Structure 1
Amino acid sequence: MPPGPDQTRDEIANLLAKQDQVDERRNRREEIERQDTLDLSDFTRPLCIENVAGFEATESLFSTILQLCEYVGLQYKDMYGRTRPSMIDPTLRPMLPVPPHSSYPSNHAFQCTSLALVFERFFPQHPATEELHRVAARLAENREWAGLHYESDTAAGKLLAERFLPFLVDACTELMREAQSEWN
């Protein structure tokens, strides 16, 4: 459940404090804009397969995870209906256009954490697994820096990813096998 009004006010204060950190926001701007579309390169780069042939099944798995999680996440957003931060406090100036759907949970956090968890499930010893989790966390945090999400949205997206993982693994078993064959 989304937090109540008191915690929401505290979280808006945190977002306003981030907004006041002009240099940090400037440093993150390009990254935030690139990450808005959930380009796969943020996840293929740590695996050293960005623009490399022979990993189409891995990219297909990643795309499928992002699409499935987008759909599921939007259902939760619709169910909870949490108002975006800038709609509550108009002094917040988001760095990106405000999406038309609700804020809670963060779909970017849900999608990216899910991707990292699925990869970890089928390659637990891969050296880039930790980096995928760092990328997912950074991307989710950047949505807060962009003024689009509360911290609790991010936490809820990550929790949803953990809880949805068994269903996601079940739905993607065949794609996971195909992706695994590229890595053997």
Structure 2
Amino acid sequence: MIRVLLVDDQHLIRAGLRMLCEAQPDIEVVGEADNGRDAISLAARLVPDVVVMDLRMPGVDGISATSRILADRPGTRVLVLTTFGDDDHLYPALTAGACGFLLKDAPPADLLDGVRRAAAGDSPFSQEVLSRLVHRAMHARTGTPPPVDGLTTRERQVLDLIAEGLSNAEIAERLHIGVTTVKTHITSLMSKTGSPNRVRLALFARGV
């Protein structure tokens, strides 16, 4: 069961998300918050697997809340759900440690898929946002990733496939290894490259 904390200052948005999530047999909404301060305390108390996080809220905003939540519990997956898909919101959220970035006009199926992928260790992004990230990366790339000492052959293979945009399950299938093993390699790669999240790791792999 995926434990989800919903964070949004609009009651109707939270109510809609709760109804959507609770209709699924594998997702449980364990709490709601309408501001970043309450989100931080609830995340510590309820220990959700995924926090669905709005960005613009009164008081403590979603970016600050994301940073605080992950500082206290690095294993928590924070999935941004926002109206604002511009770079001024995207990159601060990624820097704070968000694992994915979805827009509120995304189809319900995409949101549910995003929650499941976030819980599984993937990085879900709205197509519009992902296309912009890839476009920027491709135009900024230097051709080869910066050298990193200490990567194993398997870690380099995983890094190359992350750069291609493959999910954990797809990497596991390509390399004939388990998904848990892929997650272990990704955790090691993030540590060795100083990448706070999967997107930064993919950009690193592209030489950006």
TM-score, scaled relative to structure 1: 0.25
Higher RCO (C-alpha under 8 Å, 6+ residues apart): 1
Q: Which has the higher helix share?
A: 1
